Structure 1
């Protein structure tokens, strides 16, 4: 029973990180977004740009996020969490950009790791654009 309660608490904590990604993306808050990463994170954008380490992720995010041009809102939902180890989770996310022209979707996969202080952080991410058809 303890394992199940711990896992449930971890899933809730992971979902809170995904909600923070949504909140910081909507607010175009680069620093808030960057606070969700480990220093040794690896990130691949939806268009295939590979960013290794927080410094590279920060340089890209600080350039792109404040100038992001979407005319609607974006939503993120953790649709599946698979624990690879008790302190490592693969999280499948549904990302939807809602706009007047219609919705577009991304399918990120986040690998998150639980830190010694109990926080879950983004350790690796691969975003993929979902194309119709």
Structure 2
């Protein structure tokens, strides 16, 4: 009996110890996940608030290097009397009707983007 129950008892103790250690690790990981989910929720709320502010800003537009619109606020669209279907044009064409001024505005957009990119490289 001693040869049978003694090894079984030792093995049972080891298994219980491993299970207790695994439970402790599981609890710690659960707390980490809970903290991360809370932080994610806060970040999501901040992003939603920022999107609301940007979406309702009077004059906000974001454009790519080629001038195509990434985002334009609803109030800006209303101010310019634009519809969603018109947003496939470059921003310079939506803001100005004169072709010379449009080209000048395109150059300004490009030069400002280069300056911003160069400033980011320095930091």
**TM-score interval, normalised by the smaller of the two chains:** under 0.3
Report which of the two has the higher share of helix: 2
TM-score w.r.t. the length of structure 1 is 0.25
TM-score w.r.t. the length of structure 2 is 0.26
* Larger Rg computed on CA atoms: 2
Report which of the two has the higher share of strand: 1
